[in-house]
Structure 1
Amino acid sequence: MNSEKTTTLNHNLTIGQRISTRGEDFIVTGTNTNHDGSQLLEAEGISELVKGKRFSFDTNLDTDIKPIDPNFTTLIPDTDSGYRKTKLFLETQIRNSAIFSDKITIATKAAINAAEYQLTPTLKALQLPRPRLLIADGVGLGKTIEVGIFLAEMIKRGKGKRIMVLAPKSILAQFQQELWNRFAIPLVRLDSDGIAKIKSQLPANKNPFEYYDKTIISIDTLKQNAKFRHYLEKSRWDVVVIDECHTVANDRSQKGDLAQFIAKKCESLILTSATPHNGKKENFANLINMIEPTAIPKNGEYDKSHVEPYYVRRFKNDIADETVRANFQERKIVRSSASLSVDENDFLQYQQELKFLAIEKIKEGNEQKSKNDFLFSIGLFKGFMSSPLAALESVKRRLEKVKVKNNSDDSFEDNVEILETLKTKIEKILSAKSDTKYKKLKETLLGLGWSGKKQDDRYVIFAERIKTLEYLRDNLKNDFKITDEAIAYFHGGLSDSEQQNIVEDFGKQDSTVKILLCSDSGSQGVNLHYFCNRMFNYDIPWSLITLEQRNGRIDRYGQKKTPFIHYIIAESDIDGLKTDLHIVDRLTKKEEEVYKTLGDAGSVMKLYDTDKEEKFIEQAFLKQNENFLDSTAKAMVDFDFSTLFNNEDDKTAVLVTDNPYEQPTSIYSSDFKYYEALFEQLDSAKQLQHKEVTVAEDYIEIVNTKDLNQILFDLPPESKPAIGSLYKLSLDKDLVQKSIEDARKKKGAWAEFQVLYDLHPVVRYFMTKLEASVDKDVALVAKSKIFPAQTSWYIFQGQIANNLGQPVLSDFYVVGLNDDGTIHRKTLDLNQFISEFKLSEKLFTETITEEDLANLQSILPDAVEWAHSRMQEEQQLLEGNMETKMATYQTKIESWHAAAIEQLEIDFTDKSLGNYWAKMKDNKQREIETILSSSSQYFQDLTSLQGQPYLKVIAVFYNS
């Protein structure tokens, strides 16, 4: 090779190429050719001032654009003791570079005790062309942790800069804190308070999704605000997470349509739900199609083979690791019997007479009217079994409507006489205070020694009706003489801020709330287990799914005490009523059976939808069938989902690989040694203010200066210490997790300590500062006798990008040359180089002469050529693998397309091709062709490596 070699700049720029313009470096992510042969370039910044930002350039206007050429790197000597700066710069380049692996690389450094089952979603997603997955684990298994692991790994791969999380409004703050405290992933919360703050801080026309890279918002907020749709249309994300995704499964709903739209605006997509389907085959297909549009055949007929690559679903009984199971406590069920009072029996006797009268008429054939009467009587029963006040409210509302309409007739719900009778009987129960279920609740609380005082335990009480919550609140306050501060109630009518405040307060040790009254709006996703281990189902929902969700609020991963689930079971010997009460009681027993064996409450009735389950229970009342759960409701649903989620041979219950961890490359013996050296270097180079950073034995304190506060403007305000106060970062995960627990002692407090690792925004800031201390076209030189005499060792970073502008390979390796530029050692991996020459050990600084530098500079093009040769070999090998993947995918998508067109012809065979049907067919065909075209183009761009490999000289070691 010729040491006089020079490189000719190529101005026909391609995607993936690195360019320099306006004094900064960029990667080309898109190109268009103008009619005059010039180019329009889409690019993303990669040097310090522009890193991560997106730009557009016109080569007619930006005439200084040129590809970055490693041959023009300037070599300068490192004069620091022990070549600390060279080592740090090299290590920081390694840590800041995107990694490309299908294994776990960094997430286990977060503040979690990662269970292997929690790694599986990420490991499985990384095997897909685009990491997109449904996490459908059962209630309480820690789906938020699994999401955090995935996001951390995407950020490490350079594919998680822009993130949007969609979550129910009640858990926005909870989700936000969990990701910050454990993973240092900063999400700006766009709830009603957050949006109000943004309006006061941002110009009216500023898109908050462009201003903040990482946000969390509820889909209801997006749905209700037309301006947000406008913002969404102009935004793209690296990752979108949709929590409780079953709420968006219906693509004909406003929420579903919005979710389908957002799914097309991101590279990676994570959907989560413990109840991932509602029994409708089409709705579940919609979720899978959000993940992969060609997964489901157009005829709608799919099986496990079509969807298995795109989901994980596990339950407690799938977790074999005993250390993990120790994080779940064995629940205890407490069943209390309440024999109904004379007044209650009187009311329910009348209700039963109405019910049987309706049933008789149904049998006689007068079906519709009698069915309405039956439903009215059952509704009375359900309302009353929630509370007498809830039943009274329903009766009074109906009575008012009937009197306004003035059309009393034979139907029960429009019969003034019946309604007045019902009203009188309920009012008698309330005035006589003969509500035995409430008396049993009060007796149970007294028996537990509870009085609502400061030292007492706190309890959750679930009930369906808001009137029941009000009834309980008023009675408990009166009977236990407790203050307003000791009792709170949560329901869907509260604003997002009110809901979040209640949940946060209840999860704090200093909370004054001793009883939390909850409607079923609080049964999904909300953590209520931190300082509570006792829950009452004051009424029993007619849905096993809802019951399982309720119980999962305190019986979940991380509960430290035995969870006690209380049921108050009404008893009566009245014919019919006794059966109805047994039917309701059977639900509680079946939920417990499922908990101990199957793991999935939805699999019992096979209806997978709370409304359908309630209707099934109504049929049990109609038929007076106490054994309704012994037979399946399968006939009522269009598809048996157990064929998809049977775990007997399901690989998602175990790890995808036996070796899930990627071994890192590092010069330092420990992470702390690196961070210690980093801050020593910045301090000695006068890049830190006086006492800005304090390095202690096991943690680091960093002052939140005005400059740092401004630079980290997009951290959650609650996570930032006041200016002049400290960020406290530690490698001790136990300390950080204790800090998280300590933060639960006081309302409004966030964890004092955060995890010290490369993804923390504060740490990344100082790592970038170290990077910036070496000019972008400079490489540091170190001399040492540990290397063979008359040799030089050039360390390169090489990257290969696809046609989407995404790096698909990043490699650090070393070229060894003799002093005359001939090869001494063909390229070797950096790991091998560090180990062989013991770079982790202390080096001694030696004098580097101008003559030595000149020689190193003169043979640099030879090192570049050898390095480029290695990258071309890797690119060719990668292209071969990519071509195989492309051929496999093309066969799959063409098969999907052919089947879709065939199904289209079948669907329209019997329809006359008038204007309406012709247009309908044309729309369907256009949709198919669009999916084919966009999917084919995407995968072609994903697997095409046409750009030149990127090379950067990081450092040079030598011995003269």
Structure 2
Amino acid sequence: MNAPTPEFYPGSLVSARGREWIVLPESSAETLRLRPLGGGEKDESIIFLPLERQPVQPATFPLPLVEQARNHAASQLLMDALQLKLRNGAGPFRSFGNIAVEPRAYQLVPLLMAMKLGTVRLLIADDVGIGKTIEGALIARELLDRGEIQRLTVLCPPHLCEQWQRELAERFHIQSVIVRTSSAARLERDLPPGTSVFDANPFTVVSLDYIKSERRREAFQRFCPEFVIVDEAHTCTQGGQSRQQRYQLLKGLAEDANRHMVLLTATPHSGDEDAFFNLLGLLRPEFTALKDLPPGARMDLRDDLSRHFVQRRRPDIAEWQDTSMFPDRKTAELTYRLTGAWGQLFNDVLDYARELVERAEGRGQREQRMNWWAALALLRCISSSPAAAVNALRTRLEGASEEAGGDELTLDDIEAQAGDRVLDGLDDALSTDDIEPAAQTEDSARLRELIVAAESLAGAANDPKLTKLQDHLVALIKEGFKPVVFCRYIATAHYLAEFLRGKFRDVTIKAVTGELTSGEREAAIEEMSDTEKRILVATDCLSEGINLQHLFSAVVHYDLSWNPTRHEQREGRVDRFGQKEPEVRSTILYGEDNPVDGAVLQVILRKAESIRKELGVLVPMPDNEGKLTQALLNAVLMRKHNAIGNKAQAMFDFGEPAEEIETAWQSVREKAAKNRSIFSQRRLKPEDVLPEWRKSAAVLGGEDDVERFVSRAVAKLGAALEPYKQHHKLYLDHLPATVRERLAADGLTGTLRIDFHQPAAQGAHFIQRTHPLVVALADTLLERALESAAETSDADAVARAGAAFVGNVSLKTTVLLLRLRHQLSVIREAGTRLMLCEETIAIAVSGSASPEVLTPEQTQALLGAEAVRNMPPPVRDLHIKQALQAIPDWQGQLENLAHERAQTLLQDHRRVRDAAEAKGSYQVTASLPVDIMGVYVLVPAEAGA
């Protein structure tokens, strides 16, 4: 970037086109990027100097005028507007002025860890729902705002692309494009030859499945941005072909020693030691050696690893006294018995499935596997619902494949399709296929009898599982919970939704399945936000990628998942950062005399839960690519004494497969426990983080500052906040037309429900400092403050000057509201990048003392003080004139203050990002003269009495 001419550095004031502007970064010798003195980001302009009719001249900020005096109550409003407008704040973190989320203090730990690394290589393995997306994106935003990176890519599973794009845009003001099979050709269509989509689009969200192929992988590695976030990083370790391709992709990216990489996963260790240490090797190759070193020889490497690896469970957050951000999760199990006609049908289906397998013995492998999958499909669907069972019985497994052009399905086709629809997939690739698996391999009278019997059992009268669900939902809704009912198949979801609509007349009920696109699913869910009572019935298409905590507070597992990770994902949709309710519920529904449920619950789910409670983290099932689950279900199928009867579920005999799974669970538990002990890091403690957090919050303003400002600002502009259910309503039509127009451009019209504290109330906007409402109010008030007295009335103006009799000072005290501008130079091998830093502070002069910088609390106490009695305008004007006349005498002290604050800013940057000093350096220069935004004189109440 060309350096701008000396008088036009970022932060300089210039006069152009009849008004004053602040010069912004990205200006050059011929082009100036400018922001009007009283304007915001949307008012920025670019001026091409050679074409300007009048030369651009240096300018100074005008002092307040006596004519701009207003009542004292309007003084703090200007302070708040200035503070909340800051985007290039002068605190230790550059990014905090540019994000639309107020991170919790514990979420700053990964950011501080990253700032201590020259090249950021971090594995964030926090528990489900703690906020890994925020933690990873915050690091990216900080490096962007420090000028250390210009491009960013997120690599994630395809079903998470839209969520990442939305999070980056809404929370971090990073506008990205999605790169995957359906969008890549469109993005590349208009590019010049030799130009990469990653050069043309600096911010991208890329599907791992799209980019992992060898051809695309090599091209991506050449053009890959300098900062990479990898979500679900545990799916990118060595293993099957898909995992191997992903691993090779990341390994190639990691070979560039200057590339920043942040890996995110809630399950870093799946019991596969090689996979785990290969993941650590992406941070630094030498970390793979930890696997083979004896414990005593690991200390130095362990210490190094602790700088790159952070893993925290929910209990670890307790020391931050921030556990209110997470609800209590109460779990329960509900049982039903397969009695009467339903029990008879279950036994008949079980017998028929067993016969299918026995009949194929001794025949070709294709027929054996086809019959086995058909039998397993019957077990899965009959355990789900009559509707799923009917669809499975009616769908022929041996048939034509549309993908194969009408040819007969091959054995590999059968294995892939049936496996995806019957089983739940592996932890690195959980199945999202919710179509009922095919189970028909013949057309026989026996089969038709089973279909007729299944059809006749639909409804609560004959379906004990459905009856139990209805009773449980009645109880949940009565207690105020809003449940999500998860089931395995589309037919079951519609079966449940149709039945529940007939029973819950005053409750909004929707079914969301894989039949809908990702956008349609989100729209269907958001449509439920206006209803007080709601039940969502969903397949596992919603167990990943869509967060439901703002609308729902309970999960019911109507169908047991055969993979415990899926259960945790379902519950994690509502039990996560941002859940407003103090308690969430999770209920498992199972048949106590159903051998399929018995096997899954007894051998898989309960064991997983016991390990999770012991270690505090979820450990994925050690399933050997699904072989153990298949062996377990084969035992259920082929043991005739597992039929429905009077035996309790705990009495079922699952034989050798259950023993093998128990052995595998024990092994993975021991490995996970050992590694948690070995790699338990010396975590950053609250006392290491909170000072930096408080310093940034003081510069930029927090939730309380935003609430105070908005409340006063809308009142000043003719509207008011109306209390409503623990939050507020704001009627935007009461605001001035200019404000309404700005808000309408951001899609905000009519009545706005707003909440100043997160998590926001259901249906309310969380109003933080970068929300369009705050921006519009701050810009409007500052513009009015800078207008001449003739252009504004006393009622709607913000005070740049004032004087009042108050009771909280003993000496006449002058408060100056200052805006300080600094040029931050980041010097690297590639050149020097200039940035603008701004801060708003207040100083006080009492009697003949020197100016003293006020803390935010002191500023609020002085500017927020109530006037004790009216001050006659002539007296007020006299006090203001005397203060303005004294300013030249204070000018030297104000400049010294600006230099001191510049050095403080430099120390902040060096302290937080000390690792970057090895690759360059920082310089901070104060932009003079200091802008005096407001002058306020506080006179002791007894004076002139």
User: Which interval holds the TM-score relative to the shorter structure?
Assistant: 0.5 to 0.7
Task: Describe the superposition over 1:320-370 as per-residue Cα deviations: whole angstroms up to 9, x where unpaired.
Answer: 469649822320123556567443233222344368658xxxxxxxxxx84
Q: What is the aligned partner in structure 1 of residue 261 from structure 2? A: 291
d(CA) in 2 for partners of 1:345, 1:284: 46
Q: Does 1:382 pair with 2:386?
A: no
**3-state SS, counterpart of residue 333 of structure 2:** strand
1:781 CA displacement: 5.5
**3-state SS, counterpart of residue 797 of structure 1:** strand
Q: What is the aligned partner in structure 2 of residue 897 from structure 1? A: none
**3-state SS, counterpart of residue 60 of structure 1:** helix
1:880 CA displacement: 7.1
Which of 29, 47, 68 is 2:37 aligned to? 47
1:566 CA displacement: 1.1
Q: What is the aligned partner in structure 1 of residue 732 from structure 2? A: 703
Equivalent pair of 2:817/2:932 in contact (CA under 8 Å): yes
Q: What is the aligned partner in structure 2 of residue 614 from structure 1? A: 626
Which of 549, 557, 561 is 1:536 aligned to? 557
Equivalent pair of 1:487/1:515 in contact (CA under 8 Å): yes
Q: 1:869 to 1:440 in 2, by over 3 A?
A: same
Q: What is the aligned partner in structure 2 of residue 490 from structure 1? A: 512
Number of equivalent positions = 793
Q: 1:404 to 1:115 in 2, by over 3 A?
A: closer
Task: Describe the superposition over 1:97-152 as per-residue Cα deviations: whole angstroms up to 9, x where unpaired.
Answer: 34344589999x9999x976556556666767899977654334566787999999
Task: Describe the superposition over 1:822-852 as per-residue Cα deviations: whole angstroms up to 9, x where unpaired.
Answer: xx76664232995699554356563339985
Q: 1:674 to 1:529 in 2, by over 3 A?
A: closer
Q: What is the aligned partner in structure 2 of residue 504 from structure 1? A: 526
Q: 1:769 to 1:296 in 2, by over 3 A?
A: same
d(CA) in 1 for partners of 2:412, 2:800: 94
Q: Does 1:442 pair with 2:467?
A: no
What does 1:666-745 align with in structure 2 at a 5 Å threshold? 678=713, 682=716, 688=717, 691-693=718-720, 701-704=730-733, 706-715=737-746, 717=747, 720-722=748-750, 726-727=751-752, 729=754, 733=757, 740-741=761-762
d(CA) in 2 for partners of 1:130, 1:67: 41
Name the stretch that deviates more: 950-959 or 876-885. 876-885
Q: Which amino acid aligns with 1:60?
A: P
Equivalent pair of 1:462/1:518 in contact (CA under 8 Å): yes
Equivalent pair of 1:794/1:956 in contact (CA under 8 Å): yes
Q: 1:228 to 1:61 in 2, by over 3 A?
A: same
Task: Describe the superposition over 1:15-42 as per-residue Cα deviations: whole angstroms up to 9, x where unpaired.
Answer: 565544333423342365xxxxxx2346
Q: Does 1:943 pair with 2:903?
A: no
Q: What is the aligned partner in structure 1 of residue 931 from structure 2? A: 952
Equivalent pair of 2:326/2:575 in contact (CA under 8 Å): no
Q: What is the aligned partner in structure 1 of residue 350 from structure 2? A: 345
d(CA) in 1 for partners of 2:25, 2:837: 13
Q: What is the aligned partner in structure 1 of residue 661 from structure 2? A: 629
Q: What is the aligned partner in structure 1 of residue 877 from structure 2? A: 847
1:769 CA displacement: 1.8
**3-state SS, counterpart of residue 26 of structure 2:** strand
Which of 764, 768, 772 is 2:783 aligned to? 772
Equivalent pair of 1:30/1:43 in contact (CA under 8 Å): yes
1:711 CA displacement: 1.1
Equivalent pair of 1:163/1:214 in contact (CA under 8 Å): no
Task: Describe the superposition over 1:639-666 as per-residue Cα deviations: whole angstroms up to 9, x where unpaired.
Answer: 9999589774362797853555346379
Identity of aligned residues (%): 13
Q: 1:500 to 1:955 in 2, by over 3 A?
A: closer
Q: Does 1:430 pair with 2:430?
A: no
Q: Which amino acid aligns with 1:94?
A: Q
Q: What is the aligned partner in structure 2 of residue 198 from structure 1? A: none
What does 1:473-872 align with in structure 2 at a 5 Å threshold? 488-505=510-527, 509=531, 516-527=537-548, 530=551, 533=554, 535-538=556-559, 540-541=561-562, 543-553=563-573, 557=579, 558=581, 560=583, 562-568=585-591, 571=594, 582=599, 585-605=602-622, 613-614=625-626, 617-618=629-630, 625-632=657-664, 643=675, 648-649=680-681, 651=683, 657=689, 660-662=693-695, 664=698, 678=713, 682=716, 688=717, 691-693=718-720, 701-704=730-733, 706-715=737-746, 717=747, 720-722=748-750, 726-727=751-752, 729=754, 733=757, 740-741=761-762, 750-751=763-764, 754=765, 758-775=769-786, 780=800, 795=818, 797-803=820-826, 804-807=833-836, 810=839, 812=841, 814=843, 828-831=852-855, 834=858, 838-842=862-866, 846-848=876-878, 855-856=885-886, 859=889, 862=892, 865-867=895-897, 869-870=899-900
Q: 1:438 to 1:840 in 2, by over 3 A?
A: closer
**Unmatched 5+ residue regions in structure 2?**
192-196, 264-280, 291-301, 382-388, 416-438, 636-655, 790-798, 827-832, 940-945
Q: Which amino acid aligns with 1:721?
A: T
1:797 CA displacement: 1.9
RMSD: 6.5
Q: What is the aligned partner in structure 2 of residue 223 from structure 1? A: 183
Q: TM-score, normalised by structure 2?
A: 0.63
**Unmatched 5+ residue regions in structure 1?**
1-8, 33-38, 180-184, 189-211, 359-368, 573-577, 683-687, 742-749, 819-823, 891-939
Q: Does 1:80 pair with 2:66?
A: no
Equivalent pair of 1:138/1:316 in contact (CA under 8 Å): yes
Q: What is the aligned partner in structure 1 of residue 16 from structure 2? A: 21
Q: Which amino acid aligns with 2:568?
A: E
Q: What is the aligned partner in structure 2 of residue 898 from structure 1? A: none
Q: 1:603 to 1:226 in 2, by over 3 A?
A: same
Q: Does 1:92 pair with 2:103?
A: no
Q: 1:60 to 1:666 in 2, by over 3 A?
A: closer
Q: Which amino acid aligns with 2:603?
A: R
Task: Describe the superposition over 1:55-75 as per-residue Cα deviations: whole angstroms up to 9, x where unpaired.
Answer: 5544433475657554x6445
1:622 CA displacement: 8.4
**3-state SS, counterpart of residue 878 of structure 2:** coil
Q: 1:86 to 1:503 in 2, by over 3 A?
A: closer
Q: What is the aligned partner in structure 1 of residue 649 from structure 2? A: none
Equivalent pair of 1:103/1:123 in contact (CA under 8 Å): no
Equivalent pair of 2:560/2:600 in contact (CA under 8 Å): no
Q: 1:222 to 1:24 in 2, by over 3 A?
A: farther
Q: Which amino acid aligns with 1:516?
A: V
Task: Describe the superposition over 1:569-603 as per-residue Cα deviations: whole angstroms up to 9, x where unpaired.
Answer: 6756xxxxx9x973675222233324433344344
Name the stretch that deviates more: 487-496 or 772-781. 772-781
Equivalent pair of 2:129/2:575 in contact (CA under 8 Å): yes
Equivalent pair of 2:165/2:177 in contact (CA under 8 Å): no
d(CA) in 2 for partners of 1:780, 1:409: 80
**3-state SS, counterpart of residue 954 of structure 1:** strand
Equivalent pair of 1:42/1:54 in contact (CA under 8 Å): no
1:443 CA displacement: 0.8
1:524 CA displacement: 4.7
Q: What is the aligned partner in structure 1 of residue 50 from structure 2? A: 60
Q: Which amino acid aligns with 1:499?
A: R
d(CA) in 2 for partners of 1:90, 1:604: 56
d(CA) in 2 for partners of 1:156, 1:407: 54
d(CA) in 2 for partners of 1:410, 1:271: 31
Q: 1:250 to 1:452 in 2, by over 3 A?
A: same
Q: Which amino acid aligns with 2:657?
A: N
d(CA) in 2 for partners of 1:886, 1:347: 69
Q: Which amino acid aligns with 1:841?
A: A
Q: TM-score, normalised by structure 1?
A: 0.63
